[in-house]
């Protein structure tokens, strides 16, 4: 992965949820490339191992922790375990997320509950665990991976849009609670980004999508990783409670 944006994260410890693929993997690699020790969380141990290997291949340090973030006890333990193992926790990126797209009239309770639990509740649980650590050290960066769907809505995504809108509201509230302790809380809201998820749409749909994007292209994971990297840096200490939209100008 190539990034022109760099920052000094030497000796810092970062936790990234959903780090086994897609945006989470790109973010984990970017943090590792810039000196952070990255604790990679996800359910799939094999994919996590691949993320760790890639971070190590560019000179970074990382470890894999297989964890289902919808298990509140396990998620809390993973966050606290990062601090216990490495002596500190500086950065938390809540990226874990799923989709269960369907029009509301056909959406089951389980499809609603699964998305809210994975996308929103796990974010709250991880933020709560990390905040306790970061408040005591009087420093921290929390970045929540939202979506433009949480800002504008999207047909067939009542569950997903609600979860991402909830993340944005959570971000603003936690910022007000934590900024006085040196802990910033921000969100990144990607638009259409090249990933396993968008690849399933097919070339025809993606070409139509590009017509709606002023930049005339689908975003790259590196575009999102760069936004996270800035918010995770010491330079972003006066930026908090914000949602940084990365969508090629799609929603204006």
Give the C-alpha distances (Å, rounded to integers) separating 96 from 17, 53, 120, 124, 252: 5, 20, 9, 12, 26
Q: Give the burial class of 47: count Cβ atoms within 10 A of its Cβ; 0-12 exposed, 13-18 middle, 19 or more buried.
A: middle
Cα 180 from chain centre: 23
Number of neighbours of residue 23 by Cβ within 10 angstroms:
27
What pLDDT score does 26 carry?
97
Catalytic residue among 95, 160, 171, 183: 160
Would you state the pLDDT for residue 204? 83
| 200 in a structural domain | no
Does residue 48 belong to any structural domain of this protein? yes
pTM, two decimals, is 0.96
Place of tokens 């929603």: 251
The domain of 228 spans: 13-193+221-242
Per-block mean pLDDT, blocks of 10 residues, the chain (252 long): 86 98 96 98 96 97 97 98 98 97 97 98 98 98 98 96 98 98 98 81 82 93 97 98 97 88
Quick check: is 100 in a domain? yes
**Catalytic (active site) residue 160:** yes
For residue 153, tell me if it sits in a domain.
yes
The tally of domains found in the chain comes to 1
CATH of the domain at 115: 3.40.50.720
Residue 248 lies in a domain: no
């Amino acid at each position: 992965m190539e990034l022109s944006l760099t920052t000094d994260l030497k000796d810092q410890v970062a936790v990234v949820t959903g780090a086994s693929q897609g945006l989470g993997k790109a973010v984990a690699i970017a943090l590792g490339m810039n000196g952070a020790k990255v604790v990679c969380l996800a359910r799939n141990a094999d994919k996590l191992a691949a993320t760790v290997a890639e971070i190590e291949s560019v000179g970074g340090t990382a470890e894999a922790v297989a964890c289902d973030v919808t298990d509140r006890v396990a998620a809390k333990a993973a966050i606290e375990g990062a601090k216990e193992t490495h002596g500190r926790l500086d950065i938390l990126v809540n990226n874990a997320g799923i989709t269960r797209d369907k029009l509301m009239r056909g959406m089951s309770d389980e499809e609603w509950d699964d998305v809210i639990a994975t996308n929103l509740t796990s974010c709250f649980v991880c933020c709560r665990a990390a905040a306790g650590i970061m408040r005591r050290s009087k420093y921290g960066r929390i970045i929540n991976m939202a979506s433009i769907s949480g800002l504008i809505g999207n047909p067939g995504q009542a569950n997903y849009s609600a979860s991402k809108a909830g993340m944005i509201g959570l971000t603003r509230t936690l910022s007000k609670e934590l900024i006085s302790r040196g802990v910033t809380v921000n969100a990144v809201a990607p638009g259409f980004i090249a990933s396993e998820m968008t690849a399933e749409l097919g070339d025809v749909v993606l070409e139509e999508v590009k017509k709606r994007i002023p930049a005339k292209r689908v975003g790259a994971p590196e575009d999102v990783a760069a936004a996270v990297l800035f918010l995770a840096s010491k330079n972003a200490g006066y930026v908090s409670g914000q949602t940084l939209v990365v969508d090629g100008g799609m929603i204006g």
